[in-house]
Amino acid sequence: MQITLANIATELAARLDGPLHFRLFLQPIMAAIFAFRDGRIDAKKGGTPFGWAIFTEPEHRRFLIQEGWKGVSKVFILAIVLDFIYQFIALKSFNPLNAIIVGILLAIIPYVALRGIANRLTKRRRRKQ
């Protein structure tokens, strides 16, 4: 197990330069755009910040996850596809687990974090007006 984790960490670190490294910046930006859009919608509806609501509102958790997936799925799938292309070009092999990890790091984590922030900023801005 340790060898596998070490290999994954090494391969992920190698993605910082080389072919398609622009995606490491582009995909979190895309996730942020979707997150801010959805966070503003949440604030207009009077909803709790997204990440917090997932943990504190178990009765709405399933709906929130489905709604979040609709918002981030395109970016997540694009992250996986681009990582497969990177693996083909740079590594001459395919490792689906690494592609999924990259998708989570570049799309899902920024989306969840920034959607709640966008919600809070929108609510604060409305209170000041």
Q: Does residue 5 belong to any structural domain of this protein?
A: no
pLDDT of residue 128: 79
- On whether residue 104 sits in a domain, the answer given is yes
- Residue-wise pLDDT tens digits, 79-92: 899 889 988 988 88
Does residue 103 lie within any of the structural domains?
Answer: yes
pLDDT of amino acid 94: 85
Q: Is residue 2 part of a domain?
A: no
Q: Which structural domain range is residue 55 located in? A: 22-128
Q: Does residue 8 lie within any of the structural domains? A: no
123 within domain boundaries: yes
Asked whether residue 80 is domain-assigned, the answer is yes
Per residue in 86-110, pLDDT (tens digit) is: 889 888 888 888 889 889 998 999 9
The number of folded domains in the chain is: 1
Per residue, what are the HEC states of the chain? CHHHHHHHHHHHHHCCCCCCCCHHHHHHHHHHHHHHHHHHHHHHHCCCCHHHHHHHCCCCHHHHHHHHHHHHHHHHHHHHHHHHHHHHHHHCCCCHHHHHHHHHHHHHHHHHHHHHHHHHHHHHHHHHC
Within a domain: residue 93?
yes
Q: What is the pLDDT of residues 19-72, one digit of tens each?
A: 777 888 888 999 999 999 999 998 998 888 888 888 888 998 999 899 889 989
